[in-house]
Every structure is written in C-alpha cells, then in structure tokens.
Structure 1
C-alpha cells in the first residue's frame, strides 16, 4: 500500500469516527427527558449515589428541570430537536470529504470551526 493510500485510509477512518459521533450526539438529543430518567435509574441500580452523591444530585436537579419544562412548556424542548436534527444534517455533509477529502477540505475546515 502506498503512502497516499494509507493516508487516505486513515483520513476516512477519522471521518467515519467523527460522523458516528455526530449521529450519536444528535440521536441522543431527541429523547432528553426519557434518557435522563433511564440514566438516573441505571446509576441508582449500580450504586452510584453512594459513590458519587454530587453527580447524582446534579442529575436529579437536571431531571427536575427537564420534567418541569416538559410539563409546563414542552415547546422549549423543540429546540433540542432542532439541535439534534442539525447534528444529523452536518453528519451527512461529511459524505463529500469521505469520497474526496482533498477536494472537499472546506467541509472539514467548517467542521473544525464549528467544533471550536
């Protein structure tokens, strides 16, 4: 394998990793309320409250806040849906650099600026 082919393979691996992370972060922003209840119950089952009471206090506080917003102002959570959707759309944009990283370097630069 030539140096160019090895470099291209490495770039594509990093792009796939980045896209997977974008998709996961986007997908987990949709069900925030349910996710937080699930996370809290899992952590309680694992005995985390005894080990890290500060973490559990913070999770309970965030859960209470999300529950209150969901009960009284559910439209506020619509903003997180758009955030999640944006992650998924940006992930699709990285198909171009996967095909040709040199020609589509601007997408990679855009992604780095967005992350910063």
Structure 2
C-alpha cells in the first residue's frame, strides 16, 4: 500500500511481515518546487494517490498542482503532468484512474 503526507512525502509499505518483503519498503520526497536565488524549496502536501495493481505504478496529486506518475518497482518518476487544475481531486474522483497500457 502507499501512504502520502502533508509534508510532501510518500511511503511504499507492504502488509507481508516477512523480513525479505519488509526490506523492500521505502519512502521519498515529492511535490517540492525549487525556488530561485538559492532559497529553500517549497514543500506541498500530497493530496491523492492512485495505484495500478497490475503494473505497480501509481500517481500522486499534490497541492502544487502537479500530478506525478511513478514506477514503484524501479523507484522512479515516469512523467509529470504540469499544473493540473485541482490535481488531487481529479485523481480521487476518477473512476478509471491508473489504466495501464501494454504493447505486445
């Protein structure tokens, strides 16, 4: 499962208590914007998370207005949708959120 916070962090956790599975959990910072002139970065809450159970990808929507799509297995951002209106609400309200596409 995936947890999100108002501190702009996301944690990927597992219900399986075996040590080899628990070793795969991780957390990272997201929804942060670097400010010009060397000022500290701005941190925005993560308002929504949508998970794709087959492909292990997930999307986060933050108060910064961005939607980020992540590859949970490789711990990398796949893409960022820029300044979506009401980003967090859009992910939470969409019935067909995180539909996978596969070539082959």
TM over 0.5: no
Q: Which has the larger radius of gyration?
A: 1
Q: TM-score, normalised by structure 2?
A: 0.24
1 or 2 for the larger relative contact order (CA 8 Å, sep ≥6)? 1
Q: TM-score w.r.t. structure 1 length?
A: 0.22
Q: Name the structure where strand makes up a greater proportion of residues.
A: 2
Greater share of helix residues, 1 or 2? 1
